Amino acid sequence: MFVKFSMLEKKLFGYGNATVDDFVAPNTPYDGMKKPGGIMNVARGWQVLSKFQRKNPVKVYMVGNYGDDEDSKVIQETIEKDEFNTEFFLRLRDAESRVYKINLSNPEEPDIQRYKEGKALRATPKKNIIPFLDNQTLVFAQSFGTFLESQGELMISIYNIARRKGAETASDANIRQSLIDYIQGRDKTVSSAELEDRQKIMIARKEMALRELSMLKVDDAEAKILDDDFKTDKPIKEISVQKSELPKIGNSILSTYDSIRMLAITKGKEGGYFLTRDFETFYDAVKLDGYVNSLGCGDGYSAAMTFGRLIKLSDTEIAALSPIIAALYTKVPSGYPDLTPESIRDAILKNDNYCKNIGANSNEIITKMENITS
């Protein structure tokens, strides 16, 4: 199937390594449950948000890979079930999916550890997106780890081309402990010289990537890790930043990386801090009826933040919408919610006062989403 684009069509390209999350949820019906992780969660949000538009919805194209092993079939089945366009999705023969073990014993802070490392899953599309990039496009990479792997320089160059063509570029830091262990040499024995070279490459790519982004989402620990060039001695889950410190960190990032126009620093159940070049605000976390755990809420935030930017919602509207969509992801144990336009509309309207406190209007957000212009 050949992808056809109209001149005014808005496009979302989501880069990411397709993964499977293997759940460990003691004393629940979800023991052993598996779901697609990463980019699939974000793309699910984009897909449903795009259905608000009455004519020609924003088109979502995932760019990634899945393999041939048992876990890859979970990814493939989900791609087919949710009717995602697969023109830019590559199937790698004899390749294995990454699998993360997720323990949901603590609903506020699910424990995520890498269980199986896929050998060949990288963000390499079977079709080049570059000819289709224009100022109606947003290119998103789900994990900052993408920039630090073997294909990192390719991803950064795509961002550079996208920016020159007027496209938006975005990333969710999504830093895992395994990435820190690799950068610090804990994954295997390496010489001090090799480790120093590895760290120089990682820091250089981090700098290049951040200078090519127009949007960035991080949590408080990831913000500190990026600022410290991955030198933390603490495990990620033990790193904490006071909410009062977030404006200082956020403004430091914006002043260092002048391409970034929008930044969100999330802090779980405490909410977080959202800022642009013209607007900044603390925000509280939104809790909807049926809360289960926080798994996946960051993916929901990324989906709403990037989608809102692409369809040109105002800064205040994006700041209000993103935590509401994030909350919808907390209503299921899988982090992969059964979103519908109706459930999203209902959540936005029920949080009208929340929107007003940030400076937005819930009805206007919905009206703009239904009448996306070029």
CATH code where residue 136 lies: 3.40.1190.20
**Residue 185 falls inside a structural domain:** yes
**Residue 287 falls inside a structural domain:** no
Distance CA 88, CA 67 (A): 15
pLDDT at 119: 58
Give how many domains the chain has, as a whole number: 1
Full domain range(s) for residue 68? 11-267
pTM (two decimals): 0.92
pLDDT at 140: 94
**Residue 31 falls inside a structural domain:** yes
**Residue 369 falls inside a structural domain:** no
Distance CA 94, CA 67 (A): 6
- Tokens 């410190």 locate to 245
pLDDT at 55: 77
pLDDT at 179: 84
Q: With beta carbons less than 8 A apart as the criterion, state whether 230 and 203 touch.
A: yes
Distance CA 174, CA 154 (A): 19
**Residue 352 falls inside a structural domain:** no
The Cα angle at residue 310 between residues 308 and 314, in degrees rounded to 5: 45
**Residue 248 falls inside a structural domain:** yes
Residue partners of 199: CB distance under 8 A and separation at least 6: 183, 184, 229, 230
pLDDT at 28: 65
Residue partners of 261: CB distance under 8 A and separation at least 6: 214, 215, 276, 277
CB neighbourhood size of 193 (10 A): 8
Give the CA distances from residue 283 to residues 183, 273, 304, 324, 354, in Å, rounded to whole numbers and listed in that order. Answer: 33, 6, 15, 11, 9
Phi then psi for 248, rounded to 5 degrees?
A: -65, -45
Listed as ranges, residues in the chain with pLDDT below 70 are 1-8, 25-31, 119-126, 150, 187, 373-374
Give the CA distances from residue 357 to residues 15, 264, 320, in Å, rounded to whole numbers and listed in that order. Answer: 34, 17, 9
**Residue 227 falls inside a structural domain:** yes
pLDDT at 2: 46
pLDDT one-digit tens code per residue, 272-318: 999 999 999 999 999 998 888 888 899 999 999 999 999 999 999 99
**Residue 69 falls inside a structural domain:** yes
